[in-house]
C-alpha cells in the first residue's frame, strides 16, 4: 500500500449526506434548483454540453438488465464496505479530493505558489465535470436503479434529477487526471481512489455501469482540458532573473545563500480571473531608510522582542511552512469545514471551491508580480542582529503572500457564506498580522497584500454573482 493510501483518514461517518445534485437546505448565498448547474459558466469547457456523452440504452433492454444484475452481484459480494461507501457519499466528494491533494502537498512539501495552482486546476476541473454531468442528466433523464429493480438496495443518497452520468465518477476522473498531471509519480494512488469511487457507486446501488461509464467519459474529457491548461499556463518557464541593484534590495538569507528565489516567474503565469499578473500591482513600498521605513523597521524589532503568548500563538497558527497545508491550503481547510458545517450540496460545494481556488491562484500571481517588480528586502536582510520568529522565506517581501491569499479567500468565502463575512475578514487580518509577529514582513507588506488580495477576491465574487454563473 502506498504512503498516501496508507495515511488517509478513515472516519466513522454516518450516511446522512445531502443528495448528490439536489441543492439542499443551506445558508449558502444563491443556492439553486437541481438543474441550475447546467446553466453555470464553466472555467475550462466552452459550454455545458461540450462533452455530452451518447444517450444510455433504453430501460428494459438486455443491456439494461445486465447493468442491474451487476449491481445486485456487487451488493451480494460485499466487496465495498459500508465505511468506504460512507467515506465517499456522506460528504461532497469534491471535499475528499481536496483532502487527498492536501495530503500530497504535506508529504511532498509543495510550495504555496504551486499549491494554489494545484487547488485551482483541481477544483475548476471538478466544477466543470459537475456542470457537464448535470447537462447530460437533463438531456437523458433516467430513473435510479432501485426504481427499475426491486432487488437493489439503496445504500447512499440517489440523484433525483437523473441516474445517468454519475456525478461522483465524473468528478473522480477529472480529479485523477489533474492530480496525475501535477504529481505524475503518484498516478497509481489517484487511480486507486477513482476506482474506489466506481466500486462505491455500484455497491451503493445508485449507478449502473452505463451511468458510471458516461460519468467517466465526462470526467476524462474535462480532465484533458485541465491538463491542457496546465501545460500552457507558463508555470514551466525557465527563470529569467535580472535583479536590480539598489540599497535595500532583497538578497537570499541563510540557509538560502546559494539558491535562486522561490518561483520567480510566477507573476507571469496565466491568470484565471485577472487580465494579467500586474492588473493589481500596488504602488511602491516605503523607500529604504526613509522615515516610514524606519518606523516599520523599529516596529518589527520592538514587536518581536516583546511578543505576547497570544502573538506567538497567532504567528505559529498561520505559519504554514514547508510540510504543512501551506497558506492556500489553510484557507481551503476553512472552506471545507464551512461546507460540511452547513450541509452544502456537491454542486454548490464545487462552486465554492472553484471560485476560492481561482482567486487563490490569481492572488499568488499578483503577489509574485509585485515581489519581483520591487525586490524588497526582508527584515532579516537589512536589520542588524535581527532573527525572525518563524523561518524567513526565500523570496522578496513586498507584498505578503499570506496576506494576499487571505484577503482573496476571505472575500470569496464571505460572498458564499455572508453570515460569516465579518469573521472571515477578521481571520484575514489576523493572518496578515501573523507575518509581523513572525518577523518576516513589514507592516506595509501585510496591509497592501490584503488590499491586493481583496481586489482579486472581488473578481471571483463578481464572477459568481454574474447572471450566467449565479442563480
Do residues 292 and 286 touch, judged by C-beta distance below 8 A?
Answer: yes
Torsion over CA: 225, 230, 234, 238 (sign)? negative
What is the rounded CA–CA span in Å between residue 152 and residue 84? 18
Indicate the helix (H) or strand (E) that contains 393: none
What is the rounded CA–CA span in Å between residue 354 and residue 220? 18
For the residues of 115-169, what is the DSSP string, one character each?
Answer: HHHHHHHHHHHHHHHHHHHHHHHHHS----HHHH-TT----S---SS-SSS-HHH
The vertex-311 CA angle with 308 and 316, nearest 5°, equals: 130
Q: Enumerate the domain spans of the chain.
A: 66-231, 289-465
Torsion over CA: 434, 435, 440, 444 (sign)? negative
Q: Which of 140, 137, 113, 145 is nearest to 56 (CA)?
A: 140
What is the rounded CA–CA span in Å between residue 208 and residue 205? 8
What is the rounded CA–CA span in Å between residue 35 and residue 23? 9
Q: Do domains 66-231 and 289-465 have the same CATH topology?
A: yes
Residues sharing a CB contact under 8 Å with residue 84, sequence separation 6 or more, in sequence order:
10, 196, 199, 200
**DSSP 8-state code for residue 173:** H
Do residues 400 and 442 touch, judged by C-beta distance below 8 A?
Answer: no
Q: Which CATH number fits domain 66-231: 1.10.606.20, 3.40.50.1100, 3.40.50.1820, 1.10.274.10?
A: 1.10.606.20
Angle between helices 112-139 and 209-231 (to 10 degrees): 140
Q: Determine the pLDDT at residue 467.
A: 53
Do residues 428 and 409 touch, judged by C-beta distance below 8 A?
Answer: yes
Per DSSP, the chain holds a count of helices (H) and strands (E) of 17, 0
**Prediction pTM value:** 0.93
**What CATH number labels 289-465?**
1.10.606.20
Q: Over 418-459, what HEC string results?
A: HHHHHHHHHHHHHHHHHHHHCCCCCHHHHHHHHHHHHHHHHH
Residues sharing a CB contact under 8 Å with residue 199, sequence separation 6 or more, in sequence order:
74, 79, 80, 84
Q: Determine the pLDDT at residue 41.
A: 95
The x, y and z cell numbers of residue 107, run together, are: 508529504
Q: Determine the pLDDT at residue 401.
A: 98
Q: Determine the pLDDT at residue 3.
A: 46
| Torsion region of 109: left, alpha or beta (phi above 0 gives left; psi -120 to 50 gives alpha) | left
Q: Tell me: the pLDDT tens digits for 315-339?
A: 999 999 999 999 999 999 999 999 9
Q: Determine the pLDDT at residue 342.
A: 97
Q: Which residues of the chain have pLDDT under 50?
A: 1-32, 470-471
**DSSP 8-state code for residue 412:** H
Q: Determine the pLDDT at residue 240.
A: 83
Torsion over CA: 297, 299, 300, 305 (sign)? positive
Q: Determine the pLDDT at residue 256.
A: 63
Q: Tell me: the pLDDT tens digits for 57-92?
A: 998 899 999 999 999 999 999 889 999 999 999 999
Amino acid at each position: 500500500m502506498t504512503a498516501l493510501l496508507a495515511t488517509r483518514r478513515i472516519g466513522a461517518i454516518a450516511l446522512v449526506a445531502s443528495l448528490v445534485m439536489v441543492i439542499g437546505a443551506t445558508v449558502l448565498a444563491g443556492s439553486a434548483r437541481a438543474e441550475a448547474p447546467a446553466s453555470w459558466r464553466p472555467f475550462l469547457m466552452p459550454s455545458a454540453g461540450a462533452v455530452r456523452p451518447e444517450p444510455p440504452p433504453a430501460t428494459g433492454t438486455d443491456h439494461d438488465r445486465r447493468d442491474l444484475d451487476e449491481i445486485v452481484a456487487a451488493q451480494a459480494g460485499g466487496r465495498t464496505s459500508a465505511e468506504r461507501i460512507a467515506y465517499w457519499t456522506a460528504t461532497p466528494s469534491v471535499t475528499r479530493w481536496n483532502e487527498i491533494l492536501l495530503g500530497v502537498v504535506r508529504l511532498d512539501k509543495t510550495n504555496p505558489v504551486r499549491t494554489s495552482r494545484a487547488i485551482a486546476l483541481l477544483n475548476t476541473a471538478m466544477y466543470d465535470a459537475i456542470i457537464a454531468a448535470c447537462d447530460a442528466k437533463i438531456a437523458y433523464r433516467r430513473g435510479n436503479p432501485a426504481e427499475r429493480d426491486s432487488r437493489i438496495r439503496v445504500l447512499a443518497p440517489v440523484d433525483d434529477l437523473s441516474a445517468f452520468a454519475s456525478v461522483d465518477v465524473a468528478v473522480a476522473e477529472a480529479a485523477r487526471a489533474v492530480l496525475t498531471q501535477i504529481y505524475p509519480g503518484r498516478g497509481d494512488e489517484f487511480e486507486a481512489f477513482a476506482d474506489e469511487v466506481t466500486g462505491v457507486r455500484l455497491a451503493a446501488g445508485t449507478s449502473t455501469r452505463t451511468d458510471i461509464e458516461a460519468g467517466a467519459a465526462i470526467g476524462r474529457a474535462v480532465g484533458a482540458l485541465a491538463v491542457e491548461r496546465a501545460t500552457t499556463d507558463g508555470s514551466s518557464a525557465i527563470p529569467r532573473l535580472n535583479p536590480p541593484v539598489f540599497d535595500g534590495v532583497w538578497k537570499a538569507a541563510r540557509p538560502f545563500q546559494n539558491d535562486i528565489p522561490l518561483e520567480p516567474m510566477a507573476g507571469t503565469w496565466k491568470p484565471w480571473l485577472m487580465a494579467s499578473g500586474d492588473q493589481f500591482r500596488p504602488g511602491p513600498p516605503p523607500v529604504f531608510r526613509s522615515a516610514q521605513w524606519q518606523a516599520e523597521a523599529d516596529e518589527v524589532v520592538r514587536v518581536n522582542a516583546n511578543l505576547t503568548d497570544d502573538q506567538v500563538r497567532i504567528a505559529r497558527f498561520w505559519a504554514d511552512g514547508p510540510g504543512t497545508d501551506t497558506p492556500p491550503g489553510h484557507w481551503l481547510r476553512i472552506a471545507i469545514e464551512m461546507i460540511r458545517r452547513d450541509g452544502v450540496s456537491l454542486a454548490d460545494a464545487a462552486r465554492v471551491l472553484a471560485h476560492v481556488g481561482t482567486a487563490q491562484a490569481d492572488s499568488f500571481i499578483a503577489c509574485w508580480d509585485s515581489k519581483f517588480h520591487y525586490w524588497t528586502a526582508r527584515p532579516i536582510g537589512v536589520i542588524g542582529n535581527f532573527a525572525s520568529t518563524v523561518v524567513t522565506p526565500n523570496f522578496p517581501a513586498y507584498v505578503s503572500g499570506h496576506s494576499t491569499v487571505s484577503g482573496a479567500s476571505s472575500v470569496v468565502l464571505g460572498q458564499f457564506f455572508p453570515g460569516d463575512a465579518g469573521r472571515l475578514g477578521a481571520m484575514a487580518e489576523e493572518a496578515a498580522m501573523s507575518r509581523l509577529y513572525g518577523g518576516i514582513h513589514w507592516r506595509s507588506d501585510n496591509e497592501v497584500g490584503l488590499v491586493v488580495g481583496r481586489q482579486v477576491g472581488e473578481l471571483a465574487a463578481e464572477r459568481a454573482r454574474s447572471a450566467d454563473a449565479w442563480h
